[in-house]
Amino acid sequence: MGTTLVYGQKNNTIWMDDLSIRTFSEGIPAVLAKTSGSGEAIRMKGITYSRGIGVNGTSVLSFLLNGNASAFSAVVGVDDMGMKGLPYRFYVIGDRKILFESGDMKWGDQPRMLNVNLTGIKRLGLLVLVEQGITKTYSNWADAKFIMKDEQMPLNIPNTDERIILTPVAGTQPKINSAAVFGARPGNPFLYTIAATGERPLVFSASNLPDGLQVDAKTGIITGKVLERGVYTVTLKAKNSSGESVKQLRIKIGDTIALTPPMGWNGWNSWARAIDQEKVMASADAMVKMGLANHGWTYINIDDAWQGQRGGKYNAIQPNEKFPSFKQMTDYIHSLGLKLGVYSTPWISSYAGYPGGSSNLEHGFFPDAVRDNKRAFRYIGKYSFEKEDAMQMAEWGVDYLKYDWRIEVPSAERMSVALKNSGRDIFYSISNSAPFSNVKDWVRLTNSYRTGPDIRDSWLSLYVSAFTLDKWSPYGGPGHWNDPDMMILGNVTTGSPLHPTRLTPDEQYSHVSLFSLLAAPLLIGCPIEQLDAFTLNLLTNDEVIAVNQDALGRPARLVGEENGVQIWLKQLENKEYAIGLFNIDGYTKTPQSYFRWGDEKPVSFTLDLTKIGLKGKYTIRDVWRQKNLGEFEGTFNTGIRHHGVVMIRLTAHQSTKH
């Protein structure tokens, strides 16, 4: 920081790399201070810069200046470690006006110096545009600095929009919220919990259960084993002093599990490497105490950093010292009616530097030298241990495996076979950035496959992760789900210490709506015990969840985009439909669209039902408000907030023919 005196006013030089720069970034890979996106020194055209910010991919940096800045300067260009032949474009945008545009720049081009007058500018955006989906596209804002008035500093764009709770509070009467279908393999342990709201105590029952299953009347937990293949129609009941709820459940005993997307929690975006047994058990307790389990939330998934050395009767990965009683922990989670997930990788070292599923040593020992140089061991070793690890997981009672990182088909197949032969139904999820070219293999081998990079709590990341999934939609369905990654609600640790999600309230409604329409896995990515009333309400709307858990299992399709509004249509069972109308406001269409300027307004939108193939009369219901809006034919008009959504469910009138 430096100080100058201009016309009696003290001006401060604020270097951008002295700021907590990650808090200003909406990019997907992390931005790095005084370092290029590759982790090396900032270097362009052979010149090394000691100061600046390195970015990777499309980068969005937003600053609140409130007229307290007079200038911004930097040297911009492609890092010497960047991608050759790819066009990069740099923008400086103030209050919606483009103040600097680089034009196309490529690797090897001379860096460009810029000095922009910021007098009177309230909001500033720094944007680097490159083709989405390409990695290692390193570029730089070298020697980047602001000239600020007096003692002022660049600030974060505020996220202070009112957090309006739309969903009514559940009543005292019982209501069963479980999905209408559940799959298990013959002879494997069966665990299913009847999810129900209503004043406790509830008394549960399940009539016409197949031989081998029994229900606990106090908890609604159904356990046992079913030997005979078939489809069994079971009548579930939940009763209290206020009334009774009845729902039909189809139990399908066969080769396919995961007939609806999984719902649960993953610990990475909550605790990252700091996860331990105490935090996992506290999360399971919170899943029940906060009432999430009553709405169908089931999985408690441990991500990376639980793994210790190989051992035990299978010579499998054992828990490290942070998990002293792994089997007892698993049994406790099952006693709550919940399920447990773990993480592994076919690599020698996991992403976080813990033992993986292969080794260059015959017995799989994990030396300290590997941990100390983990990046060098992110590959598949000479010896693989899929069968051993799968058998150990089954013996512990594990219900879910997240298999990381950028899995290729042979590794996916080896673990798929091992899990199916383990004697337990273990949901199999591969992560991340599964190549679309192999989608038919992912459908054949896995229960879910990550369709893109790790998600971050920004609209850019949500857009890339979810709003671009239409091409994947035909492949998702019962037993194999398109996975855009964890949910970015509540307090998250994506790229910086634990902080409230940077999605606006309207963006959060869009987030949950689109994930539900896409039939995506719903995995909470924040500490459950820290959920506030607004976030808990987002996660416990049973009509929204029902769209996600619909037994037809058909992901929504993008059927239109008009006037900045995307129309996503999902066919449901019983010839019903769910529609999401998302006001994306032309996002990605202009450089200005990547930023929030504080003057955004709702839009009025008219949906032409006939254009999307829905002819006739429909009863339309607002699923967030759980309120019927009336009968409509031909068109439906509504207001939609900026980056917000109107999510509706359509039931055909008796006179409507399909």
Q: Report the 3 state secondary structure along 438-497.
A: HHHHHHHHCCEEECCCCCCCCHHHHHHHHHCCHHHHHHCECCEEEECCCCCCCEECCCCC
User: Based on the domain organization, do 551 and 563 belong to the same domain?
Assistant: no
CATH number, domain containing residue 185: 2.60.40.10
CATH number, domain containing residue 624: 2.60.40.1180
In the predicted model, residues of the chain with pLDDT beneath 50 are 5-6, 8
Q: How far is Cα 526 from Cα 272, in angstroms, rounded to an integer? A: 11
Work out how many domains the chain is built from and give that number: 4
Of 555, 581, 613, the domain-final residue? 555
Phi, psi of 77 (to 5 degrees): 170, 180
User: Based on the domain organization, do 286 and 375 belong to the same domain?
Assistant: yes
Helices (H), 322-380: 326-335, 368-372
User: Based on the domain organization, do 416 and 377 belong to the same domain?
Assistant: yes
The answer to whether residues 520 and 47 touch, using CB atoms and an 8 Å cutoff, is: no
User: Based on the domain organization, do 541 and 565 belong to the same domain?
Assistant: no
Largest CA-CA distance found in the chain, in angstroms, rounded? 88
DSSP conformation letters of 400-420: EEEEESS--HHHHHHHHHHHH
Global pTM reads 0.96
Give me the torsion for CA of 367, 369, 373, 378, rounded to 10°.
-30
Give tens-digit pLDDT for 385-434. 999 999 999 999 999 999 998 899 999 999 999 999 999 999 999 999 99
Catalytic residues: 404, 454
Helix 277-289 vs helix 326-335: crossing angle, to nearest 10: 0
Of 532, 555, 578, the domain-final residue? 555
User: Based on the domain organization, do 431 and 411 belong to the same domain?
Assistant: yes
Question: Which pLDDT value is given to residue 2?
Answer: 56
Residue type, 645: V
In DSSP terms, which residues pair with 197 in a beta bridge?
A: 175
Question: Which pLDDT value is given to residue 653?
Answer: 87
Q: Is 332 exposed, middle or buried (0-12, 13-18, 19+ CB in 10 A)?
A: middle
Question: Which pLDDT value is given to residue 656?
Answer: 65
Q: How far is Cα 474 from Cα 302, in angstroms, rounded to an integer? A: 30
The answer to whether residues 248 and 235 touch, using CB atoms and an 8 Å cutoff, is: yes
CATH number, domain containing residue 413: 3.20.20.70
Q: How far is Cα 563 from Cα 430, in angstroms, rounded to an integer? A: 37
User: Based on the domain organization, do 542 and 613 belong to the same domain?
Assistant: no
User: Based on the domain organization, do 276 and 358 belong to the same domain?
Assistant: yes
Of 505, 539, 555, the domain-final residue? 555
Question: Which pLDDT value is given to residue 164?
Answer: 95
* Distance between start and end Cα atoms, the chain: 69
Phi, psi of 7 (to 5 degrees): 50, 45
User: Based on the domain organization, do 325 and 433 belong to the same domain?
Assistant: yes
User: Based on the domain organization, do 112 and 182 belong to the same domain?
Assistant: no
Question: Which pLDDT value is given to residue 523?
Answer: 98
Tell whether 155 is covered by a domain: no
User: Based on the domain organization, do 20 and 118 belong to the same domain?
Assistant: yes
User: Based on the domain organization, do 563 and 481 belong to the same domain?
Assistant: no
Half-sphere exposure of 254 (CA within 13 A, CB side): 14
Question: Which pLDDT value is given to residue 5?
Answer: 47
By residue range, what is the domain housing residue 287?
Answer: 263-555
